[in-house]
Copies of this chain bind each other. A is one copy, B any other.
Amino acid sequence: MKGRIPLNTVVLRLSECSLFAGIAREEMAAMLDCLGARTKTYERGEYLVRPGDTVHELGVVLTGEVQVVRDDCWGHHSIIARVVAGGLFAEAFACTAQHNVPIGVVAATRTEVLLIDCRKITVTCSQACAFHARLIQNLLRILALKNGSLMDKMGHLTQRSTREKVLSYLSRQSFDAKSEQFEVPFNRQDLADYLSVDRSALSSELGKLRDEGIIEFHKSTFILHAPRV
Protein backbone atom coordinates (compact mmCIF):
# COMPACT_ATOMS: atom_id res chain seq x y z
CA MET A 1 0.00 0.00 0.00
CA LYS A 2 1.25 3.45 -0.88
CA GLY A 3 1.88 5.90 1.94
CA ARG A 4 4.18 6.20 4.91
CA ILE A 5 1.94 4.91 7.66
CA PRO A 6 2.68 1.35 8.85
CA LEU A 7 0.16 -1.20 7.65
CA ASN A 8 -0.72 -2.58 11.06
CA THR A 9 -1.41 0.92 12.34
CA VAL A 10 -3.81 1.47 9.47
CA VAL A 11 -5.52 -1.86 10.03
CA LEU A 12 -5.94 -1.08 13.71
CA ARG A 13 -7.66 2.21 12.93
CA LEU A 14 -9.85 0.70 10.25
CA SER A 15 -11.13 -2.01 12.54
CA GLU A 16 -13.06 0.73 14.32
CA CYS A 17 -14.35 2.36 11.19
CA SER A 18 -17.94 1.66 10.18
CA LEU A 19 -17.01 1.37 6.52
CA PHE A 20 -15.14 -1.81 7.41
CA ALA A 21 -17.60 -3.22 9.91
CA GLY A 22 -17.83 -6.99 9.62
CA ILE A 23 -14.49 -7.36 7.89
CA ALA A 24 -11.85 -9.33 9.78
CA ARG A 25 -8.49 -7.73 10.47
CA GLU A 26 -6.76 -10.60 8.73
CA GLU A 27 -8.58 -9.78 5.50
CA MET A 28 -7.75 -6.13 5.56
CA ALA A 29 -4.28 -6.19 4.08
CA ALA A 30 -5.47 -8.07 1.02
CA MET A 31 -8.53 -5.88 0.81
CA LEU A 32 -6.55 -2.64 0.93
CA ASP A 33 -4.34 -3.98 -1.79
CA CYS A 34 -7.30 -4.93 -3.98
CA LEU A 35 -8.83 -1.51 -3.43
CA GLY A 36 -5.61 0.27 -4.31
CA ALA A 37 -5.90 2.28 -1.10
CA ARG A 38 -3.25 4.82 -0.17
CA THR A 39 -2.52 6.85 2.93
CA LYS A 40 -1.67 10.51 3.10
CA THR A 41 -0.92 13.04 5.84
CA TYR A 42 -2.02 16.66 5.95
CA GLU A 43 -1.04 19.54 8.21
CA ARG A 44 -3.58 21.78 9.91
CA GLY A 45 -5.07 24.18 7.38
CA GLU A 46 -4.14 22.12 4.32
CA TYR A 47 -6.87 21.37 1.81
CA LEU A 48 -7.64 17.74 1.06
CA VAL A 49 -10.29 18.66 -1.48
CA ARG A 50 -10.72 22.02 -3.15
CA PRO A 51 -13.90 23.46 -4.58
CA GLY A 52 -13.90 22.68 -8.29
CA ASP A 53 -12.00 19.41 -7.94
CA THR A 54 -13.16 16.21 -9.55
CA VAL A 55 -13.40 13.55 -6.88
CA HIS A 56 -13.05 9.82 -7.40
CA GLU A 57 -11.63 8.88 -4.02
CA LEU A 58 -13.43 8.83 -0.73
CA GLY A 59 -11.42 9.56 2.39
CA VAL A 60 -11.30 7.79 5.73
CA VAL A 61 -10.00 9.87 8.60
CA LEU A 62 -7.49 7.71 10.49
CA THR A 63 -6.37 10.33 13.01
CA GLY A 64 -7.15 13.99 13.47
CA GLU A 65 -10.13 15.91 12.15
CA VAL A 66 -11.26 17.54 8.93
CA GLN A 67 -13.94 20.08 8.18
CA VAL A 68 -16.16 20.13 5.14
CA VAL A 69 -16.47 23.79 4.24
CA ARG A 70 -17.98 26.07 1.67
CA ASP A 71 -17.06 29.61 0.77
CA ASP A 72 -19.65 31.50 -1.19
CA CYS A 73 -19.31 34.32 -3.65
CA TRP A 74 -20.25 36.88 -0.98
CA GLY A 75 -17.21 35.96 1.06
CA HIS A 76 -18.97 33.99 3.75
CA HIS A 77 -17.21 30.95 5.10
CA SER A 78 -19.39 28.17 6.40
CA ILE A 79 -18.67 24.82 7.96
CA ILE A 80 -20.93 22.09 6.63
CA ALA A 81 -19.65 19.23 8.76
CA ARG A 82 -16.76 17.98 10.80
CA VAL A 83 -15.35 14.50 10.39
CA VAL A 84 -13.33 12.82 13.12
CA ALA A 85 -11.34 9.59 13.22
CA GLY A 86 -13.27 6.69 11.73
CA GLY A 87 -15.46 8.96 9.63
CA LEU A 88 -15.65 9.39 5.88
CA PHE A 89 -15.52 12.47 3.72
CA ALA A 90 -16.26 13.19 0.07
CA GLU A 91 -17.89 9.78 -0.25
CA ALA A 92 -21.08 11.18 -1.79
CA PHE A 93 -19.16 13.00 -4.48
CA ALA A 94 -16.80 10.10 -5.08
CA CYS A 95 -19.74 7.71 -5.53
CA THR A 96 -21.10 9.82 -8.34
CA ALA A 97 -17.69 10.75 -9.72
CA GLN A 98 -18.71 14.35 -9.42
CA HIS A 99 -16.88 17.03 -11.36
CA ASN A 100 -16.51 20.49 -9.95
CA VAL A 101 -17.46 19.73 -6.36
CA PRO A 102 -19.00 22.70 -4.55
CA ILE A 103 -17.25 22.05 -1.25
CA GLY A 104 -13.79 21.99 0.23
CA VAL A 105 -12.29 19.66 2.80
CA VAL A 106 -9.69 21.16 5.09
CA ALA A 107 -7.62 19.64 7.89
CA ALA A 108 -8.67 21.06 11.27
CA THR A 109 -5.68 19.38 12.90
CA ARG A 110 -2.80 17.31 11.61
CA THR A 111 -4.64 14.49 9.92
CA GLU A 112 -3.88 11.07 8.53
CA VAL A 113 -6.29 9.76 5.93
CA LEU A 114 -6.84 6.68 3.82
CA LEU A 115 -7.95 7.31 0.25
CA ILE A 116 -9.90 4.74 -1.74
CA ASP A 117 -11.13 5.02 -5.30
CA CYS A 118 -14.87 4.59 -5.07
CA ARG A 119 -15.03 2.70 -8.35
CA LYS A 120 -12.95 -0.01 -6.75
CA ILE A 121 -15.61 -0.42 -4.09
CA THR A 122 -18.78 -0.30 -6.15
CA VAL A 123 -17.54 -2.30 -9.11
CA THR A 124 -17.11 -5.85 -7.91
CA CYS A 125 -13.63 -6.92 -8.92
CA SER A 126 -12.63 -9.82 -11.14
CA GLN A 127 -11.31 -11.80 -8.16
CA ALA A 128 -14.83 -11.56 -6.73
CA CYS A 129 -13.38 -10.63 -3.34
CA ALA A 130 -15.83 -11.52 -0.61
CA PHE A 131 -15.69 -8.15 1.09
CA HIS A 132 -17.12 -6.12 -1.77
CA ALA A 133 -20.73 -6.82 -0.96
CA ARG A 134 -20.09 -5.98 2.66
CA LEU A 135 -18.35 -2.72 1.78
CA ILE A 136 -21.20 -1.65 -0.42
CA GLN A 137 -23.73 -2.38 2.30
CA ASN A 138 -21.65 -0.45 4.82
CA LEU A 139 -21.33 2.44 2.42
CA LEU A 140 -25.07 2.42 1.87
CA ARG A 141 -25.65 2.66 5.59
CA ILE A 142 -23.10 5.43 6.01
CA LEU A 143 -24.66 7.48 3.23
CA ALA A 144 -28.10 7.01 4.76
CA LEU A 145 -26.86 8.12 8.18
CA LYS A 146 -25.13 11.09 6.65
CA ASN A 147 -28.34 12.06 4.96
CA GLY A 148 -29.89 12.06 8.39
CA SER A 149 -27.21 14.28 9.87
CA LEU A 150 -27.47 16.72 6.98
CA MET A 151 -31.18 16.96 7.74
CA ASP A 152 -30.40 17.50 11.40
CA LYS A 153 -28.10 20.32 10.49
CA MET A 154 -30.76 21.79 8.25
CA GLY A 155 -33.02 21.77 11.27
CA HIS A 156 -30.66 24.29 12.84
CA LEU A 157 -30.18 26.37 9.72
CA THR A 158 -33.89 26.71 9.06
CA GLN A 159 -34.31 28.50 12.38
CA ARG A 160 -34.88 32.16 11.81
CA SER A 161 -32.91 33.87 14.58
CA THR A 162 -29.49 33.42 16.07
CA ARG A 163 -31.14 32.53 19.37
CA GLU A 164 -33.25 29.80 17.83
CA LYS A 165 -30.30 28.43 15.89
CA VAL A 166 -28.04 28.22 18.89
CA LEU A 167 -30.75 26.74 21.11
CA SER A 168 -31.59 24.19 18.44
CA TYR A 169 -27.93 23.26 18.22
CA LEU A 170 -27.33 23.11 21.96
CA SER A 171 -30.47 21.04 22.50
CA ARG A 172 -29.22 18.55 20.01
CA GLN A 173 -25.79 18.39 21.59
CA SER A 174 -27.35 17.89 25.00
CA PHE A 175 -29.58 15.16 23.63
CA ASP A 176 -26.66 13.39 21.98
CA ALA A 177 -24.56 13.65 25.13
CA LYS A 178 -27.54 12.38 27.17
CA SER A 179 -26.65 15.07 29.69
CA GLU A 180 -27.40 18.67 30.50
CA GLN A 181 -23.65 19.26 30.44
CA PHE A 182 -21.64 18.71 27.30
CA GLU A 183 -18.72 19.94 25.24
CA VAL A 184 -19.14 21.55 21.87
CA PRO A 185 -16.41 20.65 19.38
CA PHE A 186 -16.06 24.18 18.02
CA ASN A 187 -14.52 27.44 19.08
CA ARG A 188 -16.80 30.46 18.81
CA GLN A 189 -15.85 31.45 15.30
CA ASP A 190 -16.27 27.92 14.00
CA LEU A 191 -19.57 27.52 15.81
CA ALA A 192 -20.76 30.73 14.19
CA ASP A 193 -19.61 29.44 10.80
CA TYR A 194 -21.36 26.14 11.46
CA LEU A 195 -24.63 27.85 12.33
CA SER A 196 -24.20 30.52 9.66
CA VAL A 197 -24.47 33.44 12.03
CA ASP A 198 -22.27 36.36 12.96
CA ARG A 199 -19.69 35.59 15.60
CA SER A 200 -20.36 38.67 17.69
CA ALA A 201 -24.08 38.08 17.46
CA LEU A 202 -23.49 34.54 18.65
CA SER A 203 -21.40 35.75 21.55
CA SER A 204 -23.91 38.29 22.67
CA GLU A 205 -26.80 35.86 22.29
CA LEU A 206 -24.93 33.34 24.44
CA GLY A 207 -24.49 36.12 26.99
CA LYS A 208 -28.21 36.85 26.99
CA LEU A 209 -29.10 33.19 27.36
CA ARG A 210 -26.75 33.02 30.33
CA ASP A 211 -28.26 36.14 31.90
CA GLU A 212 -31.69 34.59 31.52
CA GLY A 213 -30.53 31.47 33.30
CA ILE A 214 -31.17 29.23 30.33
CA ILE A 215 -27.59 28.15 29.82
CA GLU A 216 -24.25 28.23 31.59
CA PHE A 217 -20.96 27.92 29.82
CA HIS A 218 -17.25 28.13 30.29
CA LYS A 219 -15.16 27.99 27.15
CA SER A 220 -16.59 25.07 25.19
CA THR A 221 -18.36 23.41 28.10
CA PHE A 222 -22.06 24.15 28.20
CA ILE A 223 -24.92 23.39 30.54
CA LEU A 224 -28.41 23.69 29.09
CA HIS A 225 -31.11 24.18 31.71
CA ALA A 226 -33.99 24.62 29.31
CA PRO A 227 -36.14 21.64 28.43
CA ARG A 228 -34.56 19.97 25.47
CA VAL A 229 -36.33 20.77 22.23
A interface residue numbers (CB < 8 A to B): 70, 72-74, 76, 78, 80, 91-93, 95-96, 98, 102-103, 122, 124, 133, 136-137, 139-141, 143-148, 150-155, 157-160, 164, 168, 196, 198, 229
Determine the distance from Cα of A137 to Cα of B92 in the docked complex, in whole angstroms.
13
A140 contact set on B, CB distance < 8 A: 95, 122, 136, 139-140, 143
A70 with B158: in contact, given A136-B136, A140-B122 (CB under 8 Å)? yes
In this complex, what residue of B is CB-closest to A121?
B140
Shortest distance in angstroms between A131's beta carbon and chain B's nearest beta carbon?
A: 15
B141 touches A95 (CB 8 A): yes
- Say yes or no: A150 contacts B151, CB within 8 Å: yes
A103 CB to nearest B CB, Å: 6
User: What residues on B are CB-neighbors of A139 within 8 Å?
Assistant: 140
Chain B residues within an 8 Å CB radius of A103: 151
Q: A74-B164, A140-B139, A196-B160 known; A96 and B154 CB under 8 Å?
A: no
A6 nearest CB across to chain B (Å): 32
Given A151-B80, A153-B154: A74 touches B144 (CB 8 Å cut-off)? no
Q: Which residue of B lies closest to A150 (CB)?
A: B150
* B70 with A155: CB separation less than 8 A: yes
Alpha-carbon distance between A224 and B144 when the two chains are bound, in angstroms: 35
Give complex CA distance A164, B75 in Å.
Answer: 12
- List, in ascending order, chain B residues with CB within 8 A of A155's CB: 70, 72, 102
How many whole Å from A42's CB to the nearest CB in chain B? 22
- How far, in angstroms, from A49 to B122 measured CA to CA in the complex? 31
Q: Which residues on B sit within 8 Å (CB–CB) of A80?
A: 151, 154
Alpha-carbon distance A136/B132, docked complex (angstroms):
12
Residues of B within 8 A of A154 (CB): 70, 80, 150, 153-154, 157
Name the B residues within 8 Å of A136 (CB-CB): 136-137, 140
- Contact call B143/A72, Cβ cutoff below 8 A: no
- Chain B residues with CB under 8 Å of A144's CB are 91-93, 95-96, 143
Q: Would B158 and A98 count as touching, CB distance under 8 A? A: no
